[in-house]
Amino acid sequence: MPTLFDSLDRPARRVGPGIAHLPGWLRIDDQAHLVARAREIAAGLAGTPLGMTRPVTAGGQMSVYMLSLGHHWRARPYGYVSEVDGVAVPPLPGEYTQLARAAVAAAAGVAEELEPWAGESYRPEAALVNYYRPDASMGMHVDANEFSTAPIVSLSIGDEAVFRIGGTESPNKPWDEVTLMSGDLIVFGGPARGAYHGVPRIHPHTGPAGTGLKEGRINITIRQVEQ
């Protein structure tokens, strides 16, 4: 459970070139707002091909539930599409744009390699809302479907997660592991934009009260898709 002293133990830091971790960046009421909004959008899409489900990839069915905003991330074949079977992808909520721009600007203060995207030139266009049940995980992968090389903005809500980020050449060691708690921001871009990353596990029942999430973890990644 996060305490008053977490920010003392967990200062904002540059995990590596182009990787900034800002613990407790999102206030609890902003976290709750994001959860409520995602739930509302997911409820509206339930039963459609864009509903929040566990994608089936070439490697099998993922343990993470996914909801796409702005552009739909299609798992088979991989890529972004704007509609599926005539159902349009919901737009990116306006507040995501403000949030993502503020996130990149804050992250650039921690990892200077992110500075080129701190400003209006950064165009958030898509978001992936991931829901992890307590036993879910995500394998090492590269976010490679965007044409843009702009950074990935990642927000965590609910249970703590182990976030692993390594190099651009292989999904194997060496890598860094960062514990992401509710409200944490991580931004990776520049030299780390093509880095392999994943979530080997979450720590069940470690989320704070007040987010609206009873269990599990929500991760929201915001991305610029077009060049």
Ligand X SMILES: O=C(O)CCC(=O)C(=O)O
Name the binder of 199 from ligand X, Fe ion, none, CB < 5-8 A by kind. ligand X
* Six-digit token string for 188: 């990776």
The answer to whether 136 and 64 are in contact (CB under 8 A) is yes
- Strand, helix or coil at 165? strand
Give the span between the Cα atoms of 198 and 211, in whole angstroms. Answer: 23
Interface with Fe ion includes 112 (CB under 5 A)? Answer: no
Binding flag, residue 154, ligand X (CB under 6 A): yes
Site string for Fe ion, 116-155 (x = CB under 5 A): ---------------------------x------------
DSSP output for 43-83 = HHHTTSTTSSB--EETTEE-SSEEEEESSEEEETTEEEESE
Q: How far is the CB of 96 from ligand X (least distance, A)?
A: 15
9 is in an annotated binding site: no
Contact with ligand X (CB under 6 A) among 199, 213, 216, 222: 199
Could you tell me the smallest distance in angstroms from the CB atom of residue 143 to Fe ion? 4
Preceding peptide of 93 cis, ω within 30°? no
Annotated binding-site residue? 143: yes
Kindly state the smallest distance separating residue 158's Cβ from ligand X, in Å. Answer: 11
128 binds ligand X (CB under 6 A): yes
Work out which of 30, 143, 176, 215 binds ligand X, going by CB under 6 A.
143
How many other CB atoms are found less than 10 A from the CB of residue 166?
Answer: 20
Annotated binding site for Fe cation: 141, 143, 197
